Amino acid sequence: MITYRLLSESDLLSLYECFLAAFSDYSVDMRMSRQQFEQRLVRDGVRLEISAGAFDENRMIGFYMNAVGTWLGQQTAYDAGTGVVPAYRRQGIGTELFDFMVPWLKEASFTQYLLEVLSNNHSAVALYKRLGFSTTRQLAVFRRPEPLPFKKDGSIRRVDETDWELFKSFWDGYPSWQNSIDAAERIAGERVVVGAYIDESCVGYGIAFKPAASLMQLAVAPAFRRRGIGSRILSVLQREVSATESLKVNNIDKELKGTLAFFEANGFKMVLEQEEMIKNL
């Protein structure tokens, strides 16, 4: 008999093992160490006490990992990962687990639920639409076959204190949950922040999450674009994060055509698309 319940810290190992099993056949390589998994939970703001698991006797066979935060001004729960192990799929477990979980989220005063799902996972997209989710943005995932070459540049250096108001003034859009300001603050000890300077004024910046070798944010002031500054920031972040693994670029708003062209010009290829979806609770 399948049972459902909220999770606790004692479920962390079972959650990690279930995560690996559920994503073992995923179109993106999700293998990671337990340490990397826990760092991911911190970055996303996951709270086990509002996350839910499906169990066959004592074995976890499905989960919703829920994070907590504010999104576009509302108290929001974010789906940091949902999965069911292959042998238990197509039995309605994901829907039943969601139906079990939602009343708890409402009771905890969350007003909306946010998630991302691969656009080519048509069955999952259709399921979320049936559950009342609507698409808010389409997001692009980029990969590069090899690490970026290093371009030495003394004008780009580490930033010790993040001036978010300045950085936001460089934006054309806003980052996804995993790349948000809150996420960058949650992993302050595991991030690299660099700034580009002209006459000691910061005109661009970049942030990378070291454990996943992933780019979180990169922006250049509009007046200083098309001068190679963004490319040099990417190069420095690559050196700071990994000499062997290319930076990952996840969840770029597809409406930001200039940003998409920038990554393509730097040798990145769009490999996946995601739907960012939200449901009012």
> In whole angstroms, what is the distance from residue 82 CA to residue 17 CA?
13
Q: What does each of the 281 residues of the chain score in pLDDT, given as a tens digit?
A: 999 999 999 999 999 999 999 999 877 778 899 999 999 999 999 999 999 999 999 999 999 999 999 999 999 999 999 999 999 999 999 999 999 999 999 999 999 999 999 999 898 899 899 999 999 999 999 999 999 998 777 899 999 899 999 999 999 999 999 999 999 999 999 999 999 999 999 999 999 999 999 999 999 999 999 999 999 999 999 999 998 999 999 999 999 999 999 999 999 999 999 999 999 99
- As beta bridge partners, residue 2 has 56
User: Domains in the chain, ordered, with CATH?
Assistant: 2-110 (3.40.630.30), 143-273 (3.40.630.30)
Contact between 172 and 260 under an 8 Å Cβ cutoff? The reply is no
Residue carrying the six token digits 């050196």: 239
Predicted local distance difference test score (pLDDT) of residue 152 = 76
Predicted local distance difference test score (pLDDT) of residue 281 = 94
Of 121, 137, 168, nearest to 254 by C-alpha is: 137
Of 164, 173, 187, nearest to 140 by C-alpha is: 173
Q: Using CB atoms within 10 A of its CB, is residue 239 exposed (0-12), middle (13-18) or buried (19+)?
A: middle
- As beta bridge partners, residue 248 has 214
> In whole angstroms, what is the distance from residue 134 CA to residue 132 CA?
7
